[in-house]
Amino acid sequence: MKARVIVTLKNGVLDPQGQAIEGSLASLGFGGVHGVRQGKVFDLDIEGTDVEAARSQITAMCEKLLANTVIENFAIEISN
Amino acid sequence: MKARVIVTLKNGVLDPQGQAIEGSLASLGFGGVHGVRQGKVFDLDIEGTDVEAARSQITAMCEKLLANTVIENFAIEISN
């Protein structure tokens, strides 16, 4: 099974990288863009066919390694 | 409008960061995980209501700043 994990900063957490990107976009002439936030995406192949088992395993991976749950949210998408 | 841009490495491009994550997952006891690839996600708010205009503006942003199109693919999702 293929899975995608998207890790984003929680609301209220400062994102200086996103702010820098927003400034760069403005200086390149792309006006009208606000609230740029950068996150991470992980694509992975996971063995087995049980979607719920995979989801709980990936949740554990996120809590232990892929995301810092103090400041980040994560979302899991699984496709067969 | 809210938009999300997902930037991933093209197939065939080495991803040492993804390999390191895969190794860390294995050493944490998460077996059965392969092909880990890391990418980037950008969330942004864009002014206006014309979805097609926004899509073409974001495509230009990706080509100029957000993605390195030599080694990376990008996907754009727009929601109102």
Tens of pLDDT, residue by residue over B46-69, are 999 999 999 999 999 999 999 999
Measured CA to CA, the distance from residue B11 to residue A38 in angstroms comes to 22
In this predicted structure, the answer to whether residue B80 has a pLDDT above a threshold of 80 is: no
Looking at every residue in chain B, the average pLDDT score rounds to 96
Residue of B41, B49, B73 to mutate for A, most A C-beta atoms under 10 A: B41
Q: In CATH, which superfamily holds the domain spanning A2-79?
A: Phosphoribosylformylglycinamidine synthase subunit PurS (3.30.1280.10)
In this predicted structure, the answer to whether residue B1 has a pLDDT above a threshold of 80 is: yes
Measured between CA atoms, the residue of chain A closest to residue B45 is A34
> Which residues have a Cβ under 8 Å from the Cβ of A48 and sit 6 or more positions away?
A1, A54, B32
Task: Report pLDDT for B39.
Answer: 98
What does DSSP say about strands A2-9 and A72-79: parallel, antiparallel, or unpaired? Answer: antiparallel
A53 — pLDDT class (breaks 50, 70, 90): very high
Whether residues A48 and B66 touch (CB distance < 8 A) is answered with no
Looking at every residue in chain A, the average pLDDT score rounds to 96
Q: Residue ranges per domain, chain A?
A: 2-79
Q: Which residues of A touch B66 (CB under 8 A)?
A: 21
